Amino acid sequence: MSSNRLADAASAANRFGLGAKPGTLAGLHDARGALAKEARDGAVNAGAFAGLADGAAYLAEENRYVLDRRMRRREAAAANASGKDATGENAIQAAIGGFRRQFGPKLLAEAGARWQVALAAPLGFAERIVRFWSNHFAVSVDKRQALLYAAPMEREAIRPHAFGRFEDLLVAVESHPAMLRYLDNQGSIGPSSRIGMTRAGQGLIGTNASEAGSAAVSPDTAPRRRRGLNENLAREILELHTLGVDGGYMQADVTELAQAITGWSVRGPRDDRIAGAFGSGMHADPKTGFVFREYAHEPAARSILRRRYAEEGIEQGRRVLADLAVHPATAKHLSFKLARHFVADDPPPALVRRMAVAFLDSGGDLRELYLALLRSDEAWSGDARKFRTPDDFLLAALRALGTEQVPDVRMAGALLARLGQPVFMPRSPAGFPDTAASWIGPDALLKRIQVAGELSSRASRVLAPGRIAGDALGPHLDAATSQAIARAESPRQGLGLLLASPRFQWRI
């Protein structure tokens, strides 16, 4: 294999993919072709997610849990009031099992399946793309209402659409319970909608399941909360998901978009009761749990970015998203982020422009965007490199060791948290940062070296660290690193040296 081919293979596996496995580089004769094939075919993972619940099933279970807890609490309050019994919150939790006990194993199963797919992928370019979009459309599960839905959103909204039209991806994400709950759109109500105009309707739709309960269990005694518009999701759609912060929109566009997507909501614990009062006009997605509440939708035409959108119920919001998806500012924003993710912290402007043109010319086809990146010389330049984020690092280390399955999902999650990248928890809708400066710090580096030592000590068998190093880094294994590994006092320490070495921290 020529040196160019070797370099291409290493970049394909390490910079574009999730990390070379033993044997990957030697067997990769047409690296660019292999990536292009993944860009066209998408993320193939038959069976890995079988058995995991869909969003609607999680919603139904969480709603049942909320109703159950509420009922017990009411019973306890009644018993307390009549002096019969003093049942505390602990007893209620014990009786119904507690949130963690009920849902914890499911969250672990989700994380385990996600890692399994990432470890199994031969190169992992398509898997990296999936993770890129998950971070672009970040949902942070430290918001309890979003906790159960981040993983289903990746499976149901991102995977099926990340290799198709951006419009479809955008609509799928913005109408997923994860996003609607994370950015507070589920309880956003048009002031002139049917429910907004009805006094009795005020307070019927909650911002989250537990809150919804407190407002409506006893409508006569509970303070009636005025509900209305929430512009959080609309703002982040414009600022983070599509146009970008310099994309030329104004505060008025944010408010208009917020009104256009009023009624985009999530099936709640009291929807049967609401349906009784406002029966007609509830459109539901039986798989994700999304519901469109026509009676909460602001019934008027909207003007966004100087374009008029007639009132068409759920179609109004969809039409806005369709236009935003192919806006030149969106093309630029997405191209920049993608180039930054795959090529360099400061990607070449010519590359970004070329990608944006390809995206717009294809009417917003993401495959064309990826192919434009892969066809560009800049993407294969010897200077291109990215610092591995903690998630990249952990995956690359496990893949280099030939690990097929994360042995201890709980521990892997804890390691990532200590390295500063807890799973699905970027703590901000902007997602985790994607530049080296954010991840290179003395303390962060020390922890990473510590984790490298930990991983090598847990590796089931270590035979030839020198060969593992060659398989992982290919032509980027330099003489000094190679020598240090060869001189290690034990194969295990040699492996630790490889994983902790500076070369291993870069996607080159």
Partner 1 sequence: MASRRDVLKLIAAGAVALTVWPRIAASATAAPPLLLVVMLRGGLDGLHALPPLGDAAWGGLRGALPFAPGDPKAKPLPIDRDFALHPSLAYASQLYRQKALLPVVAVAPPYQGRSHFEAQDCVENGSAHPNGAPDGWMNRCVASLHGEQGLAIVTAMPLIMRGAANVSTWSPPLPDGIDAQLLQRLDTLYAEDPRLAEAYARAVAESHEEGAGEAGDAGRGNLPDAGNRRAGAAGGLAAMMAAAGRFMARKDGAQIAFVEDSGWDTHAGEVAALQRKLGQLDAGLQGVHDALGAAWDRAAIAVVTEFGRTAKVNGTGGTDHGTGGIAFLAGGAIAGGRIAGRWPGLSAQDLNEGRDLHATTDLRALFKGLLKDHLGVAGAALDAAVFPGSAAVRPMAGLVRT
| Binding footprint of partner 1 on the chain (CB under 8 A) | 142, 183-184, 187-189, 191, 207-208, 211, 214, 223, 225-232, 235, 239, 245, 251, 387, 418-420, 427-428, 430, 433, 436-447, 449-454, 478, 480-481, 484, 487-489, 493, 496-497, 500-503, 505
Closest approach, Cβ 6 to partner 1, in A, equals: 18
**What is the rounded distance in angstroms from the CA atom of residue 186 to the CA atom of residue 271?**
13
Cβ-contact 131, 390 below 8 angstroms = no
Which structure tokens are listed for 496?
């630790």
Which structure tokens are listed for 63?
């709603």
**What is the rounded distance in angstroms from the CA atom of residue 17 to the CA atom of residue 11?**
8
Closest approach, Cβ 118 to partner 1, in A, equals: 22
Backbone angles phi, psi at 26, to 5 degrees: -65, -30
**What is the rounded distance in angstroms from the CA atom of residue 90 to the CA atom of residue 40?**
53
Give bridge partners of residue 290 from the DSSP assignment.
266
Closest approach, Cβ 223 to partner 1, in A, equals: 7
Closest approach, Cβ 365 to partner 1, in A, equals: 28
Closest approach, Cβ 503 to partner 1, in A, equals: 8
DSSP state of 291: E
DSSP state of 238: I
Largest CA distance in the chain: 85
Closest approach, Cβ 346 to partner 1, in A, equals: 11
Which structure tokens are listed for 368?
């064309």
Closest approach, Cβ 299 to partner 1, in A, equals: 16
Q: Which is nearer to partner 1, 61 or 184 (CB)?
A: 184
Closest approach, Cβ 443 to partner 1, in A, equals: 4
Q: Which is nearer to partner 1, 150 or 358 (CB)?
A: 150
Residue 265's SS3 state is: strand
End-to-end CA distance of the chain: 19
Q: Which is nearer to partner 1, 116 or 232 (CB)?
A: 232
Q: Which is nearer to partner 1, 301 or 480 (CB)?
A: 480
Place of tokens 């521990």: 411
Q: Which is nearer to partner 1, 116 or 435 (CB)?
A: 435
Q: Which is nearer to partner 1, 44 or 245 (CB)?
A: 245
Closest approach, Cβ 327 to partner 1, in A, equals: 18
Q: Which is nearer to partner 1, 24 or 493 (CB)?
A: 493
**How many CA atoms are closer than 13 Å to the CA of 53, on its beta-carbon side?**
17
Q: Which is nearer to partner 1, 43 or 412 (CB)?
A: 412
Please return the burial class of 214, using the count of CB atoms within 10 Å of its CB with bins 0-12, 13-18 and 19+.
Answer: middle
Q: Which is nearer to partner 1, 30 or 142 (CB)?
A: 142
Full DSSP string of 4-65: HHHHHHHHIIIIISS-PPTTHHHH-S-HHHHHHHHHHH----TTTTTTPPPHHHHHHHHHHH
DSSP state of 71: H
